[in-house]
């Protein structure tokens, strides 16, 4: 996933397995200069635009978000289970459309990749989301996030989606480390993480601002050596 839940307006809450929530920071330095096809940093080096990979198995498929998915996102973000683990929720459809546009900018600028999880046999049936955020190609790391709509829970869809994206990130994209955080009380998200091979590394105390206070986070990581044989 990534860092977890916050109220910063420069961030979008995301990551709920059966439910887990983490934050994808879509802000970037004012020193960054932008160009078509990626992002060039003032201190040198360019971050390429991320190409959407073709990832699917017999049950789920990953694809880019579309404006037509806004109602499905809005319904999921307003679900009581999502709200239990997040202190953010969109105020309406326009805010969700803004989020869809923002994650597409993150992809173009090489900062993140947020993909809709849909049914393999019906690309219009939105099940949830899986994402990479804070992508740092220099250091070879990123954070993983995921969430599922209520009707999609309990069928293994989150684990399938996470396995597809993390294998691609650690092989094709060439990252060396993926991180995921979630609240200590988010047992469903912890189960998804361990089912996908993530190793729990420890507890980040007072990690995030959350619902008027601060929240601890469990930290998990996944390395190429943790991937099962294909």
- pLDDT-derived band at 88, boundaries 50, 70, 90: confident
Check pLDDT > 70 for residue 12: no
* Predicted confidence (pLDDT) per residue in 100-110, tens digit: 999 999 999 99
- Is residue 36 assigned to a domain? no
**More confident: 141 or 40:** 141
- pLDDT-derived band at 135, boundaries 50, 70, 90: very high
Mean pLDDT value across residues 193-210:
96
Minimum mean pLDDT among 6-20, 37-51, 56-70: which range? 6-20
pLDDT at 204: 97
- pLDDT-derived band at 87, boundaries 50, 70, 90: confident
Give the number of domains in the chain.
1
- Is residue 3 assigned to a domain? no
- What are the DSSP calls for the chain, one per residue? --B-----TTEEEE-BSSS--EEEE----TT-EEETTEEE-TTS-EEEPPPPP-EE-SSEEEEE--GGGHHHHHHHHTSHHHHHT-S---SSHHHHHHHHHHHHHHHHTTS-EEEEEEETTEEEEEEEEEEEEEEETTTTEEEEEEEE-GGGTTTTHHHHHHHHHHHHHHTTS--SEEEEEE-TT-HHHHHHHHHTT-EEEEEEEEEEEETTEEEEEEEEEE-GGGSPP-
State the residue range of the domain holding 216: 11-25+47-226
CATH code of the domain covering residue 57 = 3.40.630.30
pLDDT at 47: 66
- Is residue 5 assigned to a domain? no
| Beta pairing partners, 222 | 178
pLDDT at 40: 52
- Is residue 64 assigned to a domain? yes
- Is residue 6 assigned to a domain? no
Mean pLDDT value across residues 56-73:
97
- pLDDT-derived band at 77, boundaries 50, 70, 90: very high
pLDDT at 46: 58
- Is residue 159 assigned to a domain? yes
**More confident: 228 or 1:** 228
Phi-psi region of 195 (alpha: psi -120 to 50; beta: other; left: phi over 0): alpha
pLDDT at 90: 92
pLDDT at 26: 31
- Is residue 183 assigned to a domain? yes
- Is residue 131 assigned to a domain? yes
- Give the tokens for residue 184: 């200590």
């Amino acid at each position: 996933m990534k860092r977890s839940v916050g109220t910063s307006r420069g961030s979008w809450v995301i990551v709920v397995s059966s439910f887990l929530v983490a934050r994808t920071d879509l802000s970037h330095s004012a020193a960054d200069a932008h160009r078509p096809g990626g992002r060039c940093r003032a201190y040198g080096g360019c971050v390429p635009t991320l190409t959407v990979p073709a990832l699917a198995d017999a049950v789920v498929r990953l694809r880019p978000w579309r404006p037509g998915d806004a109602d499905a996102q809005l319904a999921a973000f307003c679900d009581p289970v999502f709200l239990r683990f997040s202190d953010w929720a969109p105020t309406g459809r326009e805010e969700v459309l803004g989020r869809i546009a923002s994650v597409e900018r993150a992809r173009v600028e090489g900062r993140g990749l947020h993909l809709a999880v849909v049914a393999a046999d019906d690309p219009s049936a939105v099940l949830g989301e899986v994402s990479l955020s804070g992508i740092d190609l220099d250091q070879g790391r990123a954070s993983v996030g995921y969430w599922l709509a209520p009707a999609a829970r309990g069928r293994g869809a989150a684990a399938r989606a996470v396995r597809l994206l993390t294998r691609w990130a650690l092989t094709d994209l060439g990252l060396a480390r993926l991180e995921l955080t979630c609240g200590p009380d988010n047992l469903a998200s912890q189960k998804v993480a361990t089912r996908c091979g993530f190793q729990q590394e420890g507890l980040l105390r007072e990690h995030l601002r959350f619902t008027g206070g601060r929240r601890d986070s469990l930290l998990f990581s996944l390395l190429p050596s943790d991937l099962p044989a294909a």
